[in-house]
Amino acid sequence: MKASDGTDEAKRRAGESASGQVENGMVVGLGTGSTAAHAIRALGEKVAAGMEIQGVPTSYQSRTLAREVGIPLCTLEAARPDIAIDGADQLQLDGALVKGGGAAHAREKIVDTSAPRCLIVADDTKLTDTLDHPIPVEVLPDAVPTVEQAIHERDGDPTVRTAQRKDGPVVTDNGNLVLDCAFGPIETPETLAASLSAIPGVVEHGLFIGVATELHIGSNDGVSIHS
């Protein structure tokens, strides 16, 4: 299998591979990001061809795309997903991963963990032996100074995420802010995950441990599936 350079083709292969696991009648968690978007488009084609599914979106972005491609939507009040398909910013082959590049990780974690099967789609440049990507931490706005202090006490380096236009911070779909927290190589992700969850004012962090049941990894000439 040829290693990719993170191209959209490798992402498309991963997204389409995971969408192939969706069967008629299923409720599907719809992840966020450019790789999950390929899965959503592929599901839209299945709906156009007559398949009956419902989607539970994880963000404004995935809701908008699902509507565009004709996937009927529902909420977690109405139904629980049979399967979720979502992207990742960095991942280990044991399934530990970092999410939140799109600031959607709070709702993504709710939807992804509500499904018995969570398929993670990514191109092969995101694979690593040891996670070292900064961890996105969604924080209540009033709690930013105290959470920053708590991150420093955990040997992390927090940065408030700002919008590309640089006219203010990124605000999540839930009205909160995001701290991108660099910890260097993370030897025990489950320990850090529990420690971050314990900080008052943290809404959710982007370490997903024990959530993924299948990884669909796209490369330049194929997809490898790990479960």
Q: Which is nearer to ligand 5RP, 28 or 104 (CB)?
A: 104
- Active site (annotated) includes residue 204: no
Check the annotation: does 99 bind a ligand: yes
Note the residues at the interface with ligand 5RP (CB under 6 A).
31-36, 86-89, 99-105, 108
The active-site residue, picked from 16, 108, 148, 204, is: 108
In Å, what is the CA distance from 26 to each residue of 56, 115, 145? 11, 11, 43
Check the annotation: does 96 bind a ligand: no
Check the annotation: does 34 bind a ligand: yes
Q: Which is nearer to ligand 5RP, 64 or 149 (CB)?
A: 64
- CB 200 → ligand 5RP: shortest distance, Å? 23
Check the annotation: does 33 bind a ligand: yes
User: How far is 95 from 112, CA to CA, in rounded Å?
Assistant: 13
- CB 41 → ligand 5RP: shortest distance, Å? 13
Rg over alpha carbons for the chain, rounded to the nearest Å, is: 17
Here the tokens at position 225 are: 């599936």
In Å, what is the CA distance from 85 to each residue of 16, 20, 68, 112, 167? 10, 11, 18, 8, 32
- Maximum distance among all Cα pairs of the chain, rounded to whole angstroms: 54
In the annotated binding site, the residues are 32-35, 86-89, 99-102, 126
Give the residue numbers marked as catalytic.
108
In the annotated binding site for substrate, the residues are 32-35, 86-89, 99-102, 126
